[in-house]
Structures are given as structure tokens and as C-alpha cells.
């Protein structure tokens, strides 16, 4: 069919399938029940939901937190791959570009695992093979011995070229930030460049991705200020293409003398009202968790708004994907907190719904 994007794609079919999948998401009413369950009970609960296939397959080898984390990650990858595989035309191309974020996620996960000496099993629990890179290829990366070996392998992969400057900076600083920053920049540059903006739906989708860039840059800015870092070239830390926060603005904010001064400059932006309380909490206890959670909620509200405007477009599909990912994040947070003996009230503050 001729879609809202101006070229052929099976939008009616895919959005109908996604609507059915959305009905399977865990309802808000179930979260208070999950908070009162132990790990075994959570595992059994998931085995009666859309996670049944993965939980059943993995139950003979894993249990507890490991079963929950691996089962939810594999389910997330399978669901996203399914959506991509039964989409066609421009829809498939844009979804493929959007889902390549998981390639970046997986590479960063492997690099961090190697950097901190994590076991292959621990790394695999956080892998979501929903992008172009196959699970088999990711496992070959996991099997390598060091960060340097992983870099050597992925630098030969088309579309993942990491410049010598980033590698040199990693070698000089012995931090992964230069490598991770480059990968994030490549992702957003490619994803934003894939959207033609020939109609309102495309513009809304691009606007949302640019808001994601704002969120990513804002969190980078907050980390720099928290750690008291004033780099000589702060622009290297930020991604071009934000909706409201231009790189030059972020550079100016990074040079604010105090945290209060920086926060006061943020009052002029549209997202400030939604993160105001979180920023005050950050100023009091120095924790960025509340700011991160507030920004995630802000993004979810944005997708909820635009997903209803153009029901036969990529917008409701992206909305579902974000909500599915957030559900998996919530489940994993609950499981990890249960393992650490945190109480329901403490865990509830860490969830995004």
C-alpha cells in the first residue's frame, strides 16, 4: 500500500500486529504484585506471559536473576526482529536504521565487559540481538580476550569504523568514553539522516529522535558537572542534532561556574518542568538516577502523544518498542533489587511506567 511515508510499505499489517503485541504488555496493575513476589515467583509469572517461550527454553540451565535477565533480553530481541522481518519497503528500512541502536548497545556492552573483566555469561545477559549484528557474531566478540581484540574485529565491520583518533584517546585515557561517544554519534547521524521529512509523520519521528539526542547530551552534561570535569574541548562529548540543545549551548552550560547556575539556565527549555523536581533532588544528593528516570518518562510521554496522530506510520511502532524495552528494564530492575533485598517502596522509585 502507499503509506504516509510516500512509498510502499505494509503499514496496516504491521501496525495491526504491533497493536496486538501492545495488548500483551504487563499492565500497571501487575507491578504492585511483582514487587511483592520473590525471584522464583517472578519467574513463574513471566512463564505465563509473552515471555513463556524464552523462560521455558532457559529454565533448564538458569534460575533466579540470571533466568529473568536472559529470558527478558532474548524475548526483547525476538519481538523486535519479528516486527522488522514482517515489515516491508520504507518501513523496514527505517525500522532497521532505528533498531541499529541495539548494535551499538551490544558493542558497548561487550567493550565494557572486557574492560571490567566480566565473564562471558555476565556479558551475554545484557545482549539484545535486535539489530543487524547476529547473535552468533556478537558471541564471537564476547569470546575475544580484550578490548583491543574487540576493537580490531569491529573496525573491519562495515558501518562500524572507529577512527584512529578515538582509539588513540582510549589508549591515552584508558577510559571507554571516547569509543562510546563515537558509536553514539554514528548511530544518531545515520538514524537522523535516514528520515526524509517529506510529511508531518516523518517530521514528528525525526523530532522525537532529536529529543533523544537532547536527553543523551543532557545526561552527559550532568555527569561532567557532577565529576567536576571541565574539558578543553567539551564539544567532543556531545552529539550534533538535538531538538533544543545545540552543541554550542551545551558547551556554554558545561562552563557554568556552579551547578545552580547551570540548572537555572535549563529553566528556559520545554523539558524543564518535567525534570525540575529531579534536578532539585540531584542538587541535594548528587545522584543522577532521578534525572535519568524523569527524562525517560518525558520521552515516553512524547511517543504516546504522537503514536495516536498517525496510526498508519512508524510512530505507533516506535511507541510500542519503547514501551516494550521499558517493561523489560522494569522487570530486570525488580529482579536485581530483589536479589539485593531492597524493599518494594525503594524499588518502586526506580521504575518507569
Please report how the helices 289-307 and 315-339 are oriented relative to each other, as an axis angle in degrees rounded to 10: 150
Q: Read off the pLDDT of residues 8-66 as tens digits, 9 standing for 90 and up.
A: 678 999 999 999 999 999 999 999 999 999 999 999 999 999 999 999 999 999 999 99
Q: Which of 340, 335, 352 is nearest to 35 (CA)?
A: 335
Mean pLDDT of 231-248: 89
CA distance 265 to 253: 8
Mean pLDDT of 87-91: 89
Q: Read off the pLDDT of residues 164-189 as tens digits, 9 standing for 90 and up.
A: 888 998 999 888 988 998 999 999 99
Mean pLDDT of 258-274: 88
Q: Read off the pLDDT of residues 110-152 as tens digits, 9 standing for 90 and up.
A: 999 999 999 998 999 899 999 999 999 999 999 999 999 999 9
Residue 1 has pLDDT above 50, yes or no: no
| Residue 7: predicted pLDDT | 52
Could you give the percent of the chain with pLDDT greater than 70?
96
CA distance 336 to 320: 24
CA distance 261 to 273: 17
Residue 317 has pLDDT above 70, yes or no: yes
Residue 6 has pLDDT above 60, yes or no: no
Q: Which of 289, 295, 90, 102 is nearest to 205 (CA)?
A: 90
Rounded alpha-carbon distances, angstroms, from residue 227 to 126, 162, 170, 345: 26, 26, 19, 29
**Would you place residue 302 in the very low, low, confident or very high pLDDT band (cuts 50, 70, 90)?**
confident
Q: Which of 2, 4, 24 is nearest to 202 (CA)?
A: 4
Phi, then psi, of 296 in degrees rounded to 5: -65, -45
Residue 3 has pLDDT above 70, yes or no: no
**Would you place residue 340 in the very low, low, confident or very high pLDDT band (cuts 50, 70, 90)?**
very high
Q: Are 138 and 127 in contact (CB under 8 A)?
A: yes
| Residue 14: predicted pLDDT | 95
Q: Is 158 left (phi over 0), alpha (psi -120 to 50) or beta?
A: beta
CA distance 194 to 190: 6
Q: Reduce the DSSP state of residue 139 to 3 states and report it.
A: helix
Q: What own/partner pairs with CB < 8 Å and gap ≥ 24 does 149-158 have?
A: 149/114, 150/107, 150/110, 150/111, 150/114, 151/111, 151/179, 154/107
Mean pLDDT of 256-276: 88
* Placement of cell 555527569 in the chain: 223
CA distance 328 to 325: 5
Phi, then psi, of 310 in degrees rounded to 5: -125, 85
| 8, β-bridge pairs | 2
Average pLDDT taken over every residue of the chain: 90
Q: What own/partner pairs with CB < 8 Å and gap ≥ 24 does 237-242 have?
A: 237/177, 237/181, 239/181, 239/184, 239/185, 239/188, 239/213, 240/185, 240/188, 240/189, 240/213, 241/188, 241/189, 241/192, 241/209, 241/210, 241/213, 242/210, 242/211, 242/213, 242/214, 242/217
Rounded to two decimals, what is the model's pTM? 0.91
CA distance 217 to 215: 5
| 3, β-bridge pairs | none
Q: Are 22 and 320 in contact (CB under 8 A)?
A: yes
Q: Classify each residue of 130-150 as buried b or exposed e, where b means 16 or more C-beta atoms within 10 Å of its C-beta.
A: bbbbeeebbeebbebeebeeb
| Residue 201: predicted pLDDT | 81
Q: Are 269 and 244 in contact (CB under 8 A)?
A: yes
Element spanning 45, H or E: helix 39-46
Give Cα 89 distance to the centre of its chain. Answer: 25
Domain borders along the chain are 100-176
Neighbours of 171 (CB within 10 A): 12
| Residue 233: predicted pLDDT | 80
Amino acid at each position: 500500500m502507499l503509506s504516509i511515508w510516500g512509498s510502499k510499505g505494509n503499514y496496516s499489517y504491521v501496525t495491526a500486529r504491533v497493536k496486538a503485541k501492545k495488548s500483551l504488555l504487563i499492565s500497571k496493575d501487575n507491578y504492585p504484585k511483582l514487587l511483592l513476589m520473590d525471584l522464583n515467583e517472578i519467574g513463574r509469572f513471566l512463564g505465563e506471559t509473552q515471555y513463556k517461550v524464552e523462560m521455558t527454553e532457559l529454565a533448564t540451565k538458569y534460575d533466579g536473576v540470571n533466568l529473568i535477565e536472559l529470558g527478558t533480553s532474548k524475548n526483547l530481541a525476538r519481538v523486535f526482529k519479528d516486527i522488522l522481518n514482517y515489515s516491508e519497503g520504507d518501513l523496514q528500512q527505517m525500522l532497521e536504521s532505528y533498531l541499529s541502536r541495539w548494535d551499538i548497545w551490544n558493542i558497548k556492552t561487550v567493550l565494557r565487559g572486557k574492560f571490567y573483566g566480566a565473564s562471558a555469561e555476565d556479558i551475554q545477559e545484557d545482549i539484545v540481538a535486535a539489530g543487524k549484528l547476529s547473535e552468533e557474531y556478537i558471541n564471537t566478540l564476547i569470546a575475544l580476550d580484550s578490548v583491543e581484540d574487540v576493537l580490531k574485529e569491529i573496525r573491519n565491520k562495515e558501518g562500524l569504523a572507529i577512527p584512529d583518533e578515538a582509539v588513540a584517546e582510549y589508549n591515552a585515557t584508558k577510559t571507554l568514553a571516547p569509543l562510546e561517544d563515537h558509536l553514539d554519534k554514528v548511530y544518531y547521524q545515520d538514524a537522523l539522516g535516514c528520515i526524509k521529512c517529506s510529511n508531518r509523520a516523518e517530521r514528528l519521528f525525526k523530532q522525537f529522535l532529536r529529543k533523544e539526542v537532547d536527553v543523551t547530551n543532557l545526561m552527559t552534561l550532568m555527569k561532567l558537572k557532577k565529576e567536576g570535569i571541565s574539558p578543553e574541548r567539551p564539544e567532543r562529548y556531545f552529539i550534533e542534532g538535538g531538538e533544543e540543545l545545540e552543541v554550542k549551548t551545551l558547551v556554554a552550560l558545561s562552563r557554568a561556574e556552579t551547578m545552580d547556575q547551570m540548572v537555572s539556565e535549563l529553566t528556559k527549555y520545554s523539558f524543564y518542568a518535567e525534570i525540575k523536581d529531579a534536578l532539585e533532588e540531584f542538587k541535594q544528593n548528587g545522584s543522577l538516577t532521578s534525572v535519568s528516570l524523569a527524562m525517560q518518562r518525558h520521552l515516553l510521554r512524547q511517543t504516546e502523544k504522537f503514536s495516536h496522530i498517525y496510526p498508519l506510520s512508524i510512530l505507533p511502532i516506535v511507541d510500542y518498542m519503547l514501551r516494550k524495552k521499558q517493561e523489560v528494564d522494569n522487570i530486570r530492575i525488580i529482579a536485581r533489587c530483589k536479589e539485593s533485598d531492597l524493599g518494594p517502596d525503594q524499588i518502586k522509585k526506580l521504575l518507569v511506567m
